Amino acid sequence: MSLAELRTRVAGAFTKAFGGRPQACVQAPGRVNLIGEHTDYNEGFVLPCAIDRATVVAVRARDDRQVHVLALDEGPDRDSFALDVPITPVPARPWTGYVRGMLREALAGQLDLPGLDLVIAGDVPQGSGLSSSASLTVAVGTACQAVGALRGVDPTGLARMAQRAENHFVGCQCGIMDQLVSSRGEAGCALWIDCRSLATRAVPIPPDLCVLIAHSRVRRGLVDSHYNERRAACEAAARHFGVAALRDVSAGQLAGSGLDPLTLRRARHVLTENERTLRAAEALARGELRNLATLMAESHVSMREDFEITVPAVDQLVAIVDGVLAGEGGCRMTGGGFGGCVVAVLPAAAMDEVEHAVQRHYRSPDGLPAAVFRCRASAGAAPLP
């Protein structure tokens, strides 16, 4: 669905639900990470791009400190709460946590916030590792700004607020990557992020290259506990070296460090991935596709062997894509791991053949074909015209 269609959908539903017209409609995109996996919470480097799938919100301020939310993709489902009593989770309806969490963070930061009527819809596939949740929290924040609230909060501040909403309210210990690229992404570019300073740099994707995503249709349970376990291993490694984060350790320090073998492999993934991400950003900027492809392949091996977050179905998907590209394009698992998507950066001319090979040769353990998305690197969150 195009942004214009999503806009028409939320604006129409707004009038039906609340009467009159919304003051504004805004969008915030999902994302795919080209390289730099599990490096964000280690204060390292990532290279994601925002994609042309987004959450769209229609908004109007109210003068009574009440918030009414209509989520069109959740049934539809409605949620109402007041800003002047403590905002608490509704565990039976998880989607409400992203809206409530974001507004509670705004209040916790003593930011100005009126009552709101909100209508939400989107086309970021949920549960696929394309950050539908980050796009929702960032879209809610952007909607607040579109009615004059959250004054003085820049896009990076908005991303941090969205991350805190996930960390504190939803209970997901994610890093800053998803929210920051949703808020700061630039059309036609990947976004290099230093996750310590939160400095960003747009890296143009050469016009003859495309981004393709294939979803393995594998979703493992316990994803959060695996994620938190990997995070804990990285923190333990940083403590071992007496530093704030693995960012401060170099790959050369690992040998003879006395780390236990498992923690050493976890740390090695992060340290080598940071180096690969720096080199990949340069390779992409220079249009050196073969270099980029090599770095993406090494990243996948590191996730499979050292960080152990891939599953056989995802490995198979990468092998199918690599089989077609033969080095003239890169492919790796993307996102938190244990299923989800692979991302490929490839010449436009190779798209059909890759998609065809995936449709023909890939089946998930449940016999499902992959879902393939051809993506355009897109701009970050903004009001819609």
The dihedral built from the CA positions of residue 198, 202, 205 and 210, taken in this order, carries a sign that is positive
Relative to beta strand 382-383, strand 330-334 is unpaired
Min dist CB 337 to ligand GLA, Å, is: 7
Task: Name the DSSP class of 207.
Answer: T
Catalytic residue among 79, 117, 123, 178: 178
Residues in the chain: 385
CA geometry: angle 203, 146, 156, nearest 5 deg: 35
Q: Look at the block and give the residue holding tokens 């960003």.
A: 200
Residue type at position 375: C
Which residue, 38 or 300, has its beta carbon nearer to ligand GLA? 38
d(CA 201, CA 23): 32
DSSP per residue, 113-134: --EEEEEEEE-SPTTSSS-HHH
Nearest to 143 by CA among 200, 248, 62: 62
CB of 37 to ligand GLA, least distance (A): 4
Q: Could you tell me the two tokens for 215?
A: 């979803």
Judged by DSSP in three states, 168 sits in: helix
Helix, strand, coil % over all residues of the chain, rounded to 5: 45, 25, 35
Whether 194 is catalytic is: no
What are the structure tokens assigned to 247, written together? Answer: 């960012």
The DSSP line for 85-101 is: S-----TTSTTHHHHHH
Edge-to-edge order in the sheet of strand 209-219: 330-334, 339-347, 209-219, 371-375
Q: What are phi and psi of 116, to 5 degrees?
A: -145, 145
Q: How many CA atoms lie within 13 A of 6 on its CB side?
A: 27
Distance in angstroms (rounded) separating the CA atoms of residues 131 and 143: 18
Binding-site ranges for ligand GLA (CB under 6 A): 33, 37-38, 40-41, 174-175, 177-178, 335-336
Of 167, 178, 77, nearest to 118 by C-alpha is: 77
DSSP assignment letter at 46: E
DSSP class of 160: H
Beta bridge partners of 291: none
The amino acid at 161: M
Q: How far is the CB of 84 from ligand GLA (least distance, A)?
A: 31
Q: Which residues are marked as active site?
A: 178
